Structures are given as C-alpha cells and as structure tokens.
C-alpha cells in the first residue's frame, strides 16, 4: 500500500517504545515514575463506575451524537458561565474523547497549508506531528519554569 507523502514525513511516535522499555525495567524490579503517556495512575473513580453500570444496565450503550451529548454540552456551557463569567452557546461546544482529538479537529479547522504554528518547547511531540500532517509548520518556542512551561504574550 502506498502511503501519502505527508504521512511518510511524520516522525515516529517513540513514546510507546519508551513505555515498553519502562515497563521492562519495572518488571525487573526498578522503581519507575511513568511520565511517558497520559494514562491515569489511579483506579476509575467510583461515581464514574456507578454511572457506567447505570448506562449499561439501562441499555444506554449506543453511539453518542458526533458533537457530544446535548446535556453534557449544556453543563459545560454552565460551567464556563459560573467559573469564568463567559457565555458559550452549547451549540459551539464539541466533546471529544481526549485532548489529541480535540486539537486535531481545531487545527484542521484553522490551518492552511504553509501556515506556521507557535508551539511550546518542551511540549508533547505528537502535537507537532498533527501540525505537519495538516501541511503547516510547527515553530518551537522555548519555555521554562519562569513561564510555568507555557507560552505567554511576552514570548
């Protein structure tokens, strides 16, 4: 199968190899602090377990609407209203199963081929691949403890 040029130019996502190596060291008795992937290191909270059981027992096991459950989108809008004093219409809210999916959707909606995107460095390497995949160019902006590892207007 022939892969597209843009896919062939994407750098490998090495974190899974790093995770395998860390797990091997752990199995050999080494004490490892996992910082390679965003996998929780705690059990599923009991309220989530109860909600999942209710959904399964109630037969609520089908696909959700593509933009997310309407009631959840309304609750998110309410959260932004209370927390930040900002009105966000629920129709403008999209719920994704993770940050990577949300970022890829947002970048796909905003970027044109050849655009440049300022990205914090250090940062999650996969995000640079999203930008490259969409034909844009990631531009690393070094950040450190003095900025809380965040981009700022001063940078």
Q: Report the predicted TM-score, pTM, of the whole model to 2 decimal places.
A: 0.71
- Domains of the chain (ranges, CATH numbers): 1-62 (3.90.1150.10)
Distance (Å, whole) CA 41 – CA 58: 29
Rounded Cα gap, residues 141 and 151, in angstroms: 8
pLDDT tens readout for residues 88-129: 999 999 999 889 999 999 999 999 999 999 999 998 888 999
CB 68 within 8 A of CB 91: no
Beta bridge partners of 137: 116
Which SS3 state, helix, strand or coil, does residue 119 take?
Answer: strand
154 dihedral zone (left: phi>0; alpha: psi -120 to 50; beta) = alpha
- pLDDT tens track for 14-50: 888 888 999 999 999 999 888 777 777 789 999 999 9
Q: Which residues are CB-contacts of 27 (< 8 A; sequence separation ≥ 6)?
A: none
């Amino acid at each position: 199968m022939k892969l597209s040029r843009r896919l062939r130019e994407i750098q490998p996502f090495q974190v899974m190899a790093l995770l395998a190596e860390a797990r091997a060291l752990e199995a050999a008795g080494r004490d490892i602090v996992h910082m390679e992937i965003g996998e929780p290191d705690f059990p599923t909270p009991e309220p989530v377990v109860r909600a999942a059981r209710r959904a399964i027992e109630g037969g609520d096991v089908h696909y959700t609407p593509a933009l997310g459950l309407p009631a959840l989108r309304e609750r998110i809008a309410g959260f932004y209203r209370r927390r930040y004093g900002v009105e966000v219409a629920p129709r403008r809210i999209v719920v994704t199963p993770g940050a990577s999916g949300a970022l890829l959707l947002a970048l796909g909606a905003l970027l044109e081929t050849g655009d440049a995107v300022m990205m914090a460095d250090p940062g999650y390497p996969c995000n640079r691949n999203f930008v490259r995949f969409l034909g844009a160019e990631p531009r690393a902006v070094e950040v450190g403890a003095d900025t809380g590892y965040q981009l700022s207007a001063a940078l």
